[in-house]
Structure 1
């Protein structure tokens, strides 16, 4: 059976030409039926950067944008998402102290916001640790997250959150204070109980049921593209393969697929998602 002509969008993927398979991973995505990706910044240390200022993040963001251009050359549509990884706070705290690390991360988000204003990126990335931390680190991390929400509200752009598993229900009030609609606060690696905009790992067992219910969500691989961790979290072929499998087995309809891969991400990020 010939696959239907639909866009297939990975809402959270990393492509790393230095530490990973790079363009070969992107080609795998395309060969499997993928058409669009939201290319997310890797942590600063992946690029050999140990930030001491917000400006130091520029090297990380420029590397992400260079990768985006390379991926576009193979025929994929790329939407860059720039920002900070929550684990950077605990990593930098040894060097800068918790408050100093949080200040640098907020400044890094300010730098990322410049790229969104210029139209070179479509969204910000932030969050808080998904592992046990001290009360001081948790409070500082929430401060960084609140700053990202405020910036996104000001920019009228989406923000992707890397955070603990579960609903993250307290972020609802944080988003209200910032003035950003929940439809633009994307919970990366989501669970169905989140009140935020969920982005589900492509193999999540709830996808067919939620699609039939008309739930707005996106799909992702969270592919890390690191040779030291091949296939983590799931491989670059995963979003196309699971989508087509769900369609072939009648678990979702073509209308569902268009909603997942075009309508919802298009609305969430304010971008046009069309077949190339």
Structure 2
């Protein structure tokens, strides 16, 4: 494989050897020019786990870390991001009370923070439902999100938010309350109006304009890696392909590519991205 001229980084990707094609997707990413992945924990149900205590999330985190090591063996640097998918709350309240579900999720985020402190992961994942829920569930989800911001501030790490479409402007005040810098709060599947750090889906039409304006952003595929959902979101090759298309069409300069795929994620996540 030819040495790439610059890094190409996918800011939000899942790899699932149990339900998807696993490392084959990573190899497809690499063949298309991809070099680095921010590997995000999948929900507990992807692993057939019905969590009852926070410790039930440890096998999920350990599996994510193991997959990251396997990515490196395939020639791609993977940075594990651990946490609790916000949709967990909807499943949990089917078999426990809302306060119990909230406490479980906060406890699991605390365990994820331990992995960050130990150097086994580089960021946390949290958020709130991106679908309509009762007011009580929404409020509990916001308390979980606030706890994630607190843990991230305490660890000095970034946090990725899976939340509703739109700016999520209220998170700015939540972050200020716990001393979390908003430029290290990554809005997954972002829209340009967010005051948080935007991670744009690779096909987003605003990418060339945002780059021209000098805005700090990253790119993602949100690749899910599930055989029964092959067309869901974008495929593993999408970030390299869209980046290279923009480059070839002079919609992105090579300098902009370095900025999007190396300089900015280095600053947001506190990692080193080299080729």
More divergent stretch after superposition (8-17 vs 61-70) = 61-70
Spell out, residue by residue over 1:233-270, the C-alpha distance to the aligned partner (whole angstroms, 9 max, x if none): 10000000000000000001111111100011000000
Q: Distance in 1 between matches of 2:98 and 2:30?
A: 42
Q: Distance in 2 between matches of 1:71 and 1:212?
A: 32
Q: TM-score, normalised by structure 1?
A: 0.98
CA contact (8 A) 1:41 1:83 kept: yes
CA contact (8 A) 1:262 1:274 kept: yes
Distance of aligned partners of 1:3 and 1:166 in 2 relative to their CA distance in 1, 3 Å threshold: farther
Structure 1: 5+ residue stretches without partners: none
Secondary structure, counterpart of 2:208 in structure 1? helix
Structure 2: 5+ residue stretches without partners: none
Residue 94 of structure 1: how far off its partner (Å): 1.3
State the partner residue of 1:135.
135
Equivalent residue pairs, number = 274
- Equivalence map 1:221-260=2 (5 Å): 221-260=221-260
Residue 220 of structure 1: how far off its partner (Å): 0.2
State the partner residue of 1:113.
113
State the partner residue of 2:57.
57
Q: Distance in 2 between matches of 1:11 and 1:4?
A: 18
State the partner residue of 1:179.
179
State the partner residue of 1:78.
78
Q: Distance in 2 between matches of 1:265 and 1:109?
A: 22
Let me know the Cα RMSD of the aligned residues.
1.0
Spell out, residue by residue over 1:52-99, the C-alpha distance to the aligned partner (whole angstroms, 9 max, x if none): 111110011011111111111011101000000000001101111111
1:161 and 2:161 correspond = yes
Residue 4 of structure 1: how far off its partner (Å): 6.3
Residue 168 of structure 1: how far off its partner (Å): 0.2
CA contact (8 A) 1:166 1:194 kept: yes
Q: TM-score, normalised by structure 2?
A: 0.98
Give every structure 1 segment of 4 or more consecutive aligned residues whose post-TM-superposition deviation is greater than 6 Å: none
